[in-house]
Amino acid sequence: MSKIVVTGKIPNAGLEVLRKAGLNPQAWSQDVAMSREELLKQVQGAEILVTLLTEKVDSELLDAAGSQLKAVCNVAVGYNNIDVAACKSRGVTVTNTPGVLTDATADIALALILMVTRRLAEGERVIRSKTPWQWGMHYMLGTGITNRVLGVIGMGAIGIATARRAKACGMSVIYYSRSEIDSKIADDLGARKVSLDDLLSESDVVSIHCPSNESTHHLIGAPQFKKMKPTAFLVNTARGPIVDEQALVDALKAKEIAGAGLDVFEFEPKINEGLLDRDDVVLIPHLGSATTETRDAMAMLAANNAVAISKGRSPLTPVG
Ligand code: GLV
């Protein structure tokens, strides 16, 4: 029987899939993540690893696992924690969990758009800090999103789902994407494909939905902030390293942009100190896929990939 190691705590729904298939996963059951040292020990002899996005799957870990390793099944759609080239060169299959977290993540993108443009977190801080306040015609005015332009960077499933929500709120949509999208979807959204520079200069809200890799590292940095409108907002629900976080702090200080809503951070879980006391940013702790049903679905999809591979079948959602 394949030795399957689940390297982080995942919902029971995922473990059940493995058990029902007759597999007996060795699963980490503590809320606190395993130390690296422990991880390198636990993976020894595994044929399949089920991993979380907090675990770095690199050559060191692959060597520690051993040459019998067949697959790494990530419980996340993003797989920037995995050195896919190192896996490929060892013949190790990598899978992720696309589809099942699309709506949950797009909901968070829309939430951040509304929170940052309407100053909702700032308003909540006023109430919670018991600061005196009074309704007033000029009190805590934000920016409406109706008739404004959303610029989507990365028009995959989550980008499209975010665009749909924004359209329902009266926004128009432009996008920058490596891949072509279905023309019917683009027509329904009335979405126009543009260059990154045009997206930056035309958007009132820029929302990031592309994968994090070498080519998107610091895709948004100092030169890009200078191209944005001083009234525009940046929202990131994809991965932190796509944005140069220090350049973001500098752009906010210089009022090159109006604000940012962030669910992900460059050096997660560390947050750049320069962001912490700013009222023009909304900061939430990587909650994009954090609903019970979504996490169950992610764990089940990763487990089904593991089952397929252990039975010699093709995985459902391979990467690359
Ligand atoms: C969450 O961030 C994911 O990539 O699934």
Q: Across 177-311, where does the E strand assignment appear? A: 192-193, 205-208, 233-236, 259-262, 281-283
pLDDT tens per residue, range 136-173: 999 999 999 999 999 999 999 999 999 999 999 999 99
Q: List pocket residues of ligand 1, CB cut-off 6 Å.
A: 53, 76-78, 101, 288-289
Q: Rounded to whole angstroms, how far apart are CA atoms 88 and 256?
A: 42
Residue 131 has pLDDT above 80, yes or no: yes
* Å from CA of 136 to ligand 1 middle: 41
Q: How far is CA 250 from CA 221, 254, 257, in A?
A: 10, 6, 10
Residue 320 has pLDDT above 90, yes or no: no
Domains of the chain: 4-100+292-310 (3.40.50.720), 102-283 (3.40.50.720)
**Percent of the chain clearing pLDDT 70 (strictly above):** 100
Q: Specify the higher pLDDT residue, 244 or 32.
A: 244
Closest CA to 210 of 231, 235, 182: 235
Q: Which two tokens stand for residue 259?
A: 């604000």
Active site residues: 239, 268, 286
Band of residue 128 on the pLDDT scale cut at 50, 70, 90 = very high
* Å from CA of 101 to ligand 1 middle: 8
Q: Rounded to whole angstroms, how far apart are CA atoms 258 and 205?
A: 10
Q: Which atom of ligand 1 is nearest to the CA of 75?
A: 5
pLDDT value of position 97: 98
* Å from CA of 153 to ligand 1 middle: 16
